Every structure is written in structure tokens, then in C-alpha cells.
Amino acid sequence: MDHPLPQRLSCLMGATLPDGAVVDIDIVPDADGWATVAAIRSAADPPGEIDAYTVDLRGYVLLTAPAEPHAHLDKALSWDVLAPPFGDLGAAIGSWRHGSRELTGESFERRAISAATALLRNGATAIRSHADILEGPDPLRGIRALDAARARLRGLLDLEIVVLVPNQAPDALVHEALDAGADLVGGAPHVAPDPIAETSRLVRIAQERGVGIDLHVDEFLHGDHHTLGAFAERVAHWPAGRVRTAGHCCRLGTMPKDELAELLAQVARSGIGVVALPLTNLYLQGWDAPVATPRGLTAVGALLDAGVPVAAGGDNVRDPFNPIGRSDPLEIAAMLIAAAHLPPEIAVRLVTDDARAVLGLPEAGAKAGARAEFLAVRGRTLLDVVANAPADRIVVHNGAIVSISRTDHRIAEFAVEA
Ligand SMILES: [Zn+2]
């Protein structure tokens, strides 16, 4: 870094938008102090003057800053210390349950900050992370660690915490987790002995607290517990602003078409947003099918056609549930093109604007009146930056540059005979 990061920008100069337009963007604080887009103009020719409040984005593609809608910052980056076997969801749950007993609050906080910082470097200025109620004598240490990490990351990114409730955890402990810093109720009812009863319990607790809910739903490919329909039915009457989210929903991807159409119509009416998690679910699902292996992916195209809000995220990163992951929303967008057959502009929308919408965040990006949350990536076109995912990026949160990454390539010169 050759100069300190500026505090608040007034202009993004010469940026290329996904539609190819090259623009200058003016930023002003709104009445509440949030940095917002005041105007988008065709880029001046010759370019305007660069001062301390202007960033020169000539040669960059400008996106709405991504939001990570489904992280597990408490589990992230634990692969090396836990040394789990490669395997499916059941194996991963077993490894984590056993290994997490030994992890201290300090470990949770350090890994959470490291994983969140990697997401920020790659452009995400908002993260929703699940955090387990843990086994052992101090079950809320992961949630407290994420709350502490949030305090340390304030001003760089917004972090929202979902308490991931095991079915054996009593209601009182869930309330304690919400008191300790969790913002939403979460859980994985499909692994409970009575998935419908667990869904009802978690919805009831969220209602009692007047908070949103984000459930892991049907993270499997065969059979059905009917939890998504039950979830939709129980939240359909909730007020419009209260967030309700279903992550994974892998079973939708293998469901017969008629059954799927009926269920998706119900989901669309319920206000539930669905989060697709291609990287982790392609790893976790399908281990029992060595040939014609099914894709562990929710029915992304059918959900969009049915009018259900859809986001996509990275989920687990280098932990027992997923040995890989770059904490890069552009990696997830690229995967949506290959695995869900989405066009690039829609794939990018699912990790940027639509991810923000599913999280209930205000509109952001290059629209008049929207919040000044941006990711600029060195490149020529939208597909260029998704295909190559260059590390050269500038990230803007609330109108200020919060991260700059630059790479330097040198290739040796060889004498070439004509
Ligand atoms: Zn998850």
C-alpha cells in the first residue's frame, strides 16, 4: 500500500459498468449520513482531475459490492487443525462435532476475522454468518467470538450472525444466544428426529423475539421431510420486512417437475428467499453415486422462474464441510454459470444485488440513491472478470475504500528467432 486509504470518496471515475457503459459516479452522504450515489454520468473526456476524494477506475469493471449470504465463520479455516477425512455431510457433521470441542474462543475469533477479511478483500462488504451452539461446557463461545469479531471489523463490513440451533438445545439456550449477539434464529431441521416439529419450534422462537430466521433446509438429494412447505406455511403471514431465508434446499434440484412447481408457488407466496450454495453442496452431495453423480444444487433456474428471490454464497471454506474455497463471490458466480447454467449477468446478480435483497439490505451499487457499496475488478468486461477473477480489486464500503489489492506480473523474456 503506497498511501493511506482515503476516508470518504466523492467520485468514482471512468469505471466500466456490466453493460459496458463507462461512467463517472458522484457520491454524497444522505440525510442519515450513509454514502449514496448522487449521479451517474458518461465518463468525462478528457478525464476529470484526480484529488484525494476521487478514485481512478479506468480499466476496472464496477460491480455492486457482493454480499456473502451464507457463511460459517466459526467453522472456517479449521481443516488443517481438525484434519477431517474427505466425505459427505454426515462425515463432516461428525468431524466438526468431535473436533470443535477442543477449539477455544480465541481460535473462533481469529479464524472468523481471517475468513471475513478474505471475503472483504474479494469484495464482500456484508456477510451473514451462521454460528453453532456448541457441545461442551461453554456452548455460546462461538457466538461470542463472532460478536467480538464483528466489533473489530466495524467500519470495514457489516456482519450479521445467525444462531445455528442443534435440535437438542433447549429454548432457553437459544434465547441466551440471541442475547449474546445473534441476530437471527437458524437451525437444520432436516437432521432433527422430527423435522417438522423442529421447524415449528424455530419459527416460534423467532416470532417470540420478533427477529428473522435463516434455516438450513433439505440438504439432501433423495426422500422428503416436507420441511420447506412447512416452513413456508409458518412464515407466510409474517410482516414484509422480517427476513425469512432457506439455505441449501438441495432436494429441490432432484424433485419431480410437477411436485416442484406446486412447492415453488407456495415458497414464492411465503416471502422466503433461497440461498444456493453450489461449491459446498457439489462437494458434500452425491458421494453414493460414483457414476452419473447428481449435482448437489438447488433448482436455481426453476426458483427464479417461479419468482422466488435467490442468492448464492460460498458456505463453508476450508473446514470439514468443504476442503476448498477462495472466499470469492466471483468463484461462486463462475460456478453458477457452469453448474446452474445461468448467464453471467444473472450469476453475478445472485452474489451481489440479489444477495443483498435476500439479506434484507438496502439497494446498493450504480443506481441513483443507492448505497455506495462497490467492487471494482481489473478487467474489460463482466465475463472477463468472472472468468479470470483477477485479484486486482478495489472495495468500497459506505463510500470509502476499505481494501485495495494489486498484483504484479513479470514474465521472463526469451530470444525468439524469427
Ligand atoms: Zn450452511
Q: Residue 5 has what pLDDT?
A: 65
Q: Is 69 helix (H, G, I), strand (E, B) or coil?
A: strand
Phi/psi region, residue 187 (left: phi>0; alpha: psi -120 to 50; beta: rest), is: left
CA of 146 to the centre of ligand 1 (A): 16
Rounded Cα distance, 73 and 149, in Å? 10
Ligand 1 centre and the CA of 298: distance in Å?
A: 13
Distance from Cα 199 to the centre of ligand 1, integer Å: 16
According to DSSP, residue 364 is labeled: B
pLDDT attached to residue 226: 86
What percent of the chain stands above pLDDT 70? 98
Q: How far is the CA of 296 from the centre of ligand 1 (A)?
A: 13
How far is CA 83 from each of CA 78, 91, 106, rounded to the nearest angstrom?
A: 8, 12, 19
Per-residue pLDDT of 133-185, as tens digits, reads 999 889 999 999 999 999 999 999 999 999 999 999 999 999 999 999 999 99
What whole-number percentage of the chain has pLDDT above 90?
89
Compute, in angstroms, the gap from residue 128 CA to the centroid of ligand 1.
11
Cα torsion 327, 395, 351, 184: sign: positive
Residue 2 has pLDDT above 60, yes or no: no
**Numbers of helices and strands, H then E, in the chain:** 14, 16
Residue 149 is placed in which grid cell?
Answer: 469479531
Listing DSSP states for 293-357 in one string gives PPP----HHHHHHTT--EEE--B--SBTTBS---S-HHHHHHHHHHHS---HHHHHHHHTHHHHH
Of the pLDDT bands very low, low, confident and very high (cuts 50, 70, 90), residue 219 is confident
Please give the distance, rounded to the nearest whole angstrom, from the Cα atom of residue 277 to the centre of ligand 1.
8
CA distances (Å), 301 to each of 74, 221, 266, 387, in order?
Answer: 31, 17, 16, 21
How much distance in Å is there from the Cα of 349 to the middle of ligand 1?
21
Distance 138 CA to ligand 1 centre (A): 22
Q: Which amino acid is at 263?
A: L
Ligand 1 center–CA 332 separation, angstroms:
15
- Report pLDDT digits (tens) over 41-81: 999 888 888 888 999 999 999 999 999 999 999 999 999 99
Q: Compute how many other C-beta atoms are within 10 angstroms of the C-beta atom of residue 390.
A: 16
Q: Give the model's confidence band at 4: pLDDT under 50 very low, under 70 low, under 90 confident, else very high.
A: low
Q: For residue 215, report the distance from its CA to the centre of ligand 1, in Å.
A: 9
What is the 216 CA–ligand 1 centroid distance (Å)? 6
Distance 322 CA to ligand 1 centre (A): 11
Buried b (16+ CB within 10 A) or exposed e, 100-139: beebeeebbbebbbebbbbbbbbbbbbbbbbbbbbeeeeb
pLDDT at 209 over 90: yes
Rounded distance from Cα 178 to ligand 1 centre (Å): 19
- Structure confidence at residue 206 (pLDDT): 98
Distance 207 CA to ligand 1 centre (A): 22
281: CA distance to ligand 1 center in Å?
9
| More confident position, 359 or 296 | 359
From ligand 1's centre to the CA of 166, what distance in Å? 13
Which among 129, 213, 209 is positioned nearest to 176, based on CA atoms? Answer: 209
Phi/psi of residue 232, nearest 5 degrees? -60, -45
Mean pLDDT for the stretch of residues 215-226: 88
Rounded to two decimals, the pTM is 0.96
